[in-house]
Chains A and B, each alone.
Chain A
């Protein structure tokens, strides 16, 4: 559990982060979202003490981060940044093994861990271990950057706009991969983004920052349905709100008996995808299946009814 206790950072007269308190549960993804200058990155960087808080403190599993030297603290916290920050003169293996090496793990343990992580990120160790970052695609570089941050099995993984440098298609893929890996490893992740779409897609909890203050800290559904301030409503976007809400609900929630024409959708897909399929193909219902077995259908009417219920 990460407890952030009325943490404040001032630069001269301006308060970059103003008495923010929040608690992050172990094994969840918390997304901090805000516009530039909202203090979201400063908040993140105070957790591993890349910025020293002016006042307040952070506790990781009950222990204050101020009780250890900053560089020792940082070796226990994974850190992934926009543009990956890989060392251009080190191989993929050496990049991923950087923190274990700082922690003086034995060599064979490091190389076993490197291979394990490469496999986890669907990169063949034999092929990629000895490559240099410049020999990788943007998506591969990003995955190596995240693998490096996870290498020492940190208590917490901090990510600062980790997908910011990726193009939209690869970004969606990378977000899905992160979700899967987080679920498999049970990692605790705090991620900063300016993209509300990304926050809703990835976050178990979303923290909205504005002018250094934490204005709302809630589940994605709560943020969409009941934005605490006009600013949060703006971030969510009025026009987008119903669609964003639908994107959070799986089809399995409203699947019903009955026939439907056309290509089936997976039960794990969201209502938003079903709505899109209905509109695009002019159908009033789409068939639903799970692992190839037909489950029934979802109708256009049912989607509409569900959306009204939420609003």
Chain B
């Protein structure tokens, strides 16, 4: 689309309006302790003018750059500038607000901050989409963003924030639950692949099995997640109590095993379904030619159907991974561990920042997994020669 006169990016305009509106809502909240509701503070009141002005200018400047239709790199620069301003305001506000209050006071980002964060990230995503970087470049950008995040968190610049104070008291538990969460998400993915991929291959070859399997797996997918985790308690509890040796393996009604099992069950439909769809995606003429030139069924599968279906199969794994990183939060409810532990503790204590301590890493993890899997899918599409 060429707009000659007004070179204003339509999404950029939307982002600017939303961003300016967000600046008019409380940027941070200050509470007397970690449980009571806090009081909202507008962005220009969080610190002295000398500290606030550069941040506000950066945020507004970033939103302004986002208005430009092209080049997209300027919009990307605007997003980075805006995010920098946001970070600046957050650090200045946290230390300044806490300086004037009592020992138990907590300061947190408020709605204005969160909306601006989302708006600027959308601006960044929009600019990156327009720039259409190559898969490896996207990987480099992801590493840079995660690296910047790690440096900011490691530097202690945000340690005055309430959510970081929740972390400070629980850093050991956080590391343990992070490993647990990854174990649940990736372990259930691995188990689902080990079960689901062969099942998908066999279902591809046998129409009868295909029509029997997929409806059952679709049905499993419709069970609400809370109910599924709940259902696992009596079932695995019974298994642990009756099957010899099961208890020694850690199989019981609550804990890791039922959470893991529920995640595997949810994963089967995307794995099996996308394997079947991927294997069926090979052009019929190519398969006819493969048969006509004397390939055995196994050779057709390995040399034609599998490489051509790989992007679709990997898309299935992407769905599973992102879905399970999110669903694993609910494992916390039945003692399965993971970031859900903090979410449910926070819910019980009405400590919002403890909930965030569980929710934020989950979101970052899911986004990272989605981007990495998208890069892998693209690589298998672009380098078909390497797929076999």
Contact = CB atoms under 8 A, between A and B. Distances in A.
Interface residues of A, number: 30
A89 B294 contact: no
A76 B294 CA distance: 8
Q: Which of A73, A76, A102, A148 has the most chain B CB atoms inside 10 A of its CB?
A: A102
Contacts of B289: 79, 81, 84-87, 145, 148
B87 interface: no
Contacts of A145: 289
A90 B295 contact: no
Interface of B is mostly: helix
Nearest to B299: A102
A72 interface: yes
Q: Which of B286, B303, B304, B308 has the most chain A CB atoms inside 10 A of its CB?
A: B286
B307 to A, nearest CB: 5
8 contacts: A48-B292, A50-B291, A75-B294, A79-B292, A85-B287, A87-B290, A89-B308, A89-B385
Interface of A: 48, 50, 70-76, 79, 81-91, 94, 98-99, 102, 132, 145, 148-149, 158
B4 interface: no
A168 B86 CA distance: 65
B296 interface: yes
Contacts, number: 69
B308 A88 contact: yes
B223 to A, nearest CB: 38
Contacts of A86: 286, 289
Contacts of A94: 385
B385 A90 contact: yes
Contact of B288 (A85, A98, A132): A85
Contacts of A98: 293
B285 interface: yes
Interface in B119-153: none
B384 interface: yes
Contacts of A75: 293-294
Given A85-B290, A102-B299, 15 more contacts: A75-B293, A85-B286, A85-B287, A85-B288, A85-B289, A87-B304, A89-B308, A89-B384, A89-B385, A89-B388, A90-B384, A99-B293, A102-B294, A148-B289, A158-B292
A303 to B, nearest CB: 43
B283 interface: yes
Contacts of B299: 102
A74 B286 contact: no
B302 to A, nearest CB: 12
Nearest to A79: B292
A71 B295 contact: yes
A85 B294 contact: no
A240 to B, nearest CB: 32
Contacts of B388: 89
Interface in B259-296: 283, 285-296
A102 B296 CA distance: 10
Q: Which of B289, B296, B303, B385 has the most chain A CB atoms inside 10 A of its CB?
A: B289
A50 B292 contact: yes
Closest 10 CB pairs of A and B: A85-B289, A79-B292, A89-B384, A75-B294, A74-B294, A85-B285, A71-B294, A83-B285, A85-B286, A99-B293
Given A85-B286, A85-B288, A91 B294 contact: no
